[in-house]
Amino acid sequence: SGVVKATSHEARMIQLERALNGSPQGEDIRRILVAFKVASSVWKTDSDLVLGVEDTLTQELDLIHTALEETINESPNYLRAYLELALSKQAEGRYFDRNAFQEAIDTLEKAIEQNPQHPDPHWALASILIELGRADEAVVLTKKILDQEPSILKSQLMYMTALLYAGEREQAEAVAEVILTTEGLRPSTAERVQNLLDADLIANAAYILLTFH
């Protein structure tokens, strides 16, 4: 909370350093929470505003990357650290340094090696592939994870979204029909499916891709 409440760049950096590298007790979970908050704030902020504070945000992201890489080195099976590192690298790639996209991909490929059956790193990787215009690869990836466990709703949503970005509208609508006829489906989920079908995918890319995480 100190990071969020800080009123100057200097104060924010001090609080961020303390949160990431302070007391060893609970250090890894603090790093995860801080990384998610900072990366999410970058994703949700208007691009003009983000670029207006580029130096501040790149310094914050660098601190986060270093801390998460340390966590991964010490706990190589800690999946959440890989996911948050990739998310923050993806945010960096979008606004500041395109090379960070490949670093995010490399991070997620390592996570998949460690957790080949877990859907989360596959979903995260699909979002990056879509952002890079590689939706066809995202379709293959999301279909693979859906086939492992067809009943997982998010896997269905991910596959449908990848199909939409790949221009496979008819297939996407078929997947949507399966989702919408699921017994006990929440109204909010049905609304989300319809919103995806109706969305201007380019204009709403930031929102849609954020839901992958």
Does the structural domain 117-213 have CATH classification 1.25.40.10? yes
Looking at residues 72-88, what average pLDDT do you find? Answer: 93
Helix %, strand %, coil % of the chain (to 5): 75, 0, 25
Q: Per residue in 121-161, pLDDT tens?
A: 999 999 999 989 999 999 999 999 999 999 899 999 999 99
Instruction: Indicate if the pLDDT at residue 103 is higher than 90.
Output: yes
Q: What is the pLDDT of residue 41?
A: 76
Q: What is the pTM of this model?
A: 0.82
User: Taking 70 as the threshold, does the pLDDT of residue 102 lie above it?
Assistant: yes
- Tell me if 138 sits within 8 A of 155, measured CB to CB: no
User: Is the pLDDT reported for residue 204 higher than 60?
Assistant: no
Residue 106, pLDDT score: 97
* DSSP character at residue 150: T
CB count within 10 Å of CB 128 equals 25
pLDDT, one tens digit per residue, over 157-198 is: 999 999 999 999 999 999 999 999 998 999 988 988 888 888
Question: What is the share, in percent, of the chain residues with pLDDT greater than 90?
Answer: 51
pLDDT at 27 over 80: no
Per-residue pLDDT band for 3 (boundaries 50, 70, 90) equals very low
Domain-by-domain residue ranges, the chain?
A: 1-101, 117-213
Quote the CA–CA distance of 182 and 196 in Å, as a whole number: 17
What is the band of 199 on the pLDDT scale with cuts at 50, 70, 90? confident
Distance, CA of 121 to CA of 87 (rounded, Å): 10
